Chain A
């Protein structure tokens, strides 16, 4: 028995080390990519900041779709709500501190998450998908009609964030916004790593596989999923707020069906059910889109389509999922 316990302790310690190792690799990878981006595209930091904002949306989508199995094509409702909450706080209430604007975005996203979660989780499968599409159109239309608050189709302007911590101006080159974005992404990534391997994360993975089994254990899948939707809303809200702070304008496109669908495409491209996959999918999709649209303005959408078909056919687990599987098999063979 003592031998068993010792072996077990060794196994547990090695697993914990692997997990912490993966956390550090993730943080390291984000930092390296962020520095490389800064060095390689110093004139295009606005794009990189936009990538970070969308990465937060895709991470948020991964929480409900990848980890919980909820089908949604309306997730930009959470992102847009965060963006509008931050924007309205600044433009109408004079809350121009970037940190407070981010908190407003978190709150706006979380409330939108609660509303969407309560409605979307009433159905399953295709009806769930239809509900999510209806919701994004409703959010979009609501923002359009409430033009005295949102600016309607002209967009919400008049957002002038204060210097970050009173010292760093949001400059024209977007350096402050970019560094602020990288910091937000790092914080969110670390928190989400804790979340997905917590008992709650384990419960959600169980719900994704078999909600009836979870009920037979005495847990309520619906309550857990609504909680996850609120968290997901908060994460998307951070992205939305970052977008509002960095561009100083919030448009109706942040609450669009297209944005929701693109986020899902990015998630599938990177690989669902993995934070690394969500990040990789966003970076690859947005850089590829930016590159091919500049290289061939007439046929760039065709090329994006071809990339997606190739990934779905030849790497159904997404870029990260396939790469991780390949490396794991190689390591298994070696040992």
Chain B
């Protein structure tokens, strides 16, 4: 299958310190890829470069064959590259229904409409309602976000991203800070993501990585040191040295 998302020889340095060094990767529709790496490996910089929040020193980002390196973050979202945030960034005074409706209206180019209320737009309400129901948030759809649990807020982040109908979804630690009791719901949501959507997940929780990803990329000191199957990642010497040491040893001991 042809690639939907390509990163070619991406480089970025801050004051002479190289934080992204010749990173290349390619993803096809339906891919489930996890990007892992120790703290300071350059994951956040990589995400910011890919989403357009940072400009690379060199290299290219392609979306659906189109080079988007010089296109800003907003333009990339409009072309189908959508991200979720490591720390939830939701509008505390708004309801889940408003969040998802706003995303739908924005996607359809209707967010600038100055008359009418989304509550009286049947197509928007129907879609928002179905999406929230799928993620188990239907009963909370008219409550303020500040009144709902953190795990549910994380699900709402995913719902907002999906409402934009992305082609490529970057999930930045979707389960971070979620109590153990709620991670099952997040995992289910990840399992239910549209099959043709290419997903790149940045995650520290290795159990979640192994359950979700069909492919794992390991970033260390700004360089990709491993790109392969989850089964092989713990066997890789470089990875064990750079990042997984204690985890892999513990697994073997068990």
User: Interface on A for B, CB 8 Å cutoff?
Assistant: 4-5, 8, 11-12, 15-16, 19, 194-195, 197-203, 205-206, 209-210, 212-213, 215-220, 224, 227
Contacts and interface: CB of A to CB of B under 8 A. Distances in A.
A206 B94 contact: yes
B119 A15 contact: yes
Interface in B136-187: 138, 141-142, 160, 164
Contact of B91 (A15, A213, A227): A213
Interface string B83-124: 101000111111000100111011100111111111110000
Nearest to A217: B106
19 contacts: A12-B120, A15-B142, A197-B117, A199-B102, A199-B116, A199-B118, A200-B114, A202-B105, A205-B94, A209-B91, A215-B73, A215-B77, A216-B82, A216-B83, A216-B85, A217-B106, A218-B74, A218-B77, A218-B107
Contacts of A224: 112
Contacts of B74: 215, 218-220
A210 B73 CA distance: 15
B112 A203 contact: yes
Contact of A206 (B51, B102, B114, B142): B102
B71 to A, nearest CB: 12
Contact of A202 (B82, B92, B102, B125): B102
Given A8-B129, A218-B74, A218-B164, A200 B89 contact: no
Given A15-B119, A16-B117, A198-B116, A218 B129 contact: no
Contacts of A217: 77, 102-103, 106, 160, 164
Q: Which secondary structure characterizes the binding site on chain A? A: helix
B78 interface: yes
A194 B120 contact: no
Given A12-B125, A202-B98, A206-B102, A216 B117 contact: no
Nearest to B88: A213
B77 A227 contact: no
Contact of B113 (A16, A200, A219): A200
Contacts of A197: 117
By CB atoms of chain B within 10 A, which of A4, A195, A201, A209 has the most?
A209
A254 B172 CA distance: 51
Nearest to A218: B77
B216 to A, nearest CB: 25
Given A216-B83, A218-B78, A202 B118 contact: yes
Contact of A219 (B94, B111, B142): B111
Contacts of B120: 12, 16
A213 B83 CA distance: 10
Contacts of B106: 203, 217-219
A199 B107 contact: no
A199 B91 contact: no
A218 B106 CA distance: 7
B231 interface: no
A16 B28 CA distance: 44
Nearest to B90: A213
B143 to A, nearest CB: 11
Contact of A194 (B78, B85, B114, B142): B114
A202 B97 CA distance: 11
Interface in B41-99: 51, 73-74, 77-78, 82-83, 85, 89-94, 98
Nearest to B116: A198
Contacts of A16: 117, 119-120
A195 B91 contact: no
Nearest to B103: A217
Given A217-B160, A218-B74, A218-B77, A194 B115 contact: yes
